[in-house]
Structure 1
């Protein structure tokens, strides 16, 4: 699915959300990549090594996001 296609799907959903309630749409853009491939792409773009760190979701929420005082609404979207 191309980036423009993703935008078209989102536009359609926002224009008439009722038929989409309770459905899951997996929008991947032009391609779906794992973290290793994305890291390699970033490294190539920067011209230097780049890395990533696995961060447990709950730890990120508790240690980094909650102290920001974000609303519970935000955290409902992060629930696994």
Structure 2
């Protein structure tokens, strides 16, 4: 007893930002679509917005609440990035 197990879907935000910077050195803006009904998505967006300036990025976000919102949210992001 005393052992703990589990899984996590927490995103490695800093690692992802480092990778984006390495692959796209000229990038200035990152567009992120997320689910407004999932607390983990909302906290991930906050983490990205906090970390992004350290890598020279601005985060543009588009929250969706249903699958029907995806097309409009995508168009919205494409206009801004």
> TM-score if structure 1 supplies the norm length?
0.28
> TM-score if structure 2 supplies the norm length?
0.28
Q: Which has the higher helix share?
A: 1
Q: Which has the higher strand share?
A: 2
Q: Which has the larger radius of gyration?
A: 1
Higher relative contact order (CA 8 A, sep 6+): 2
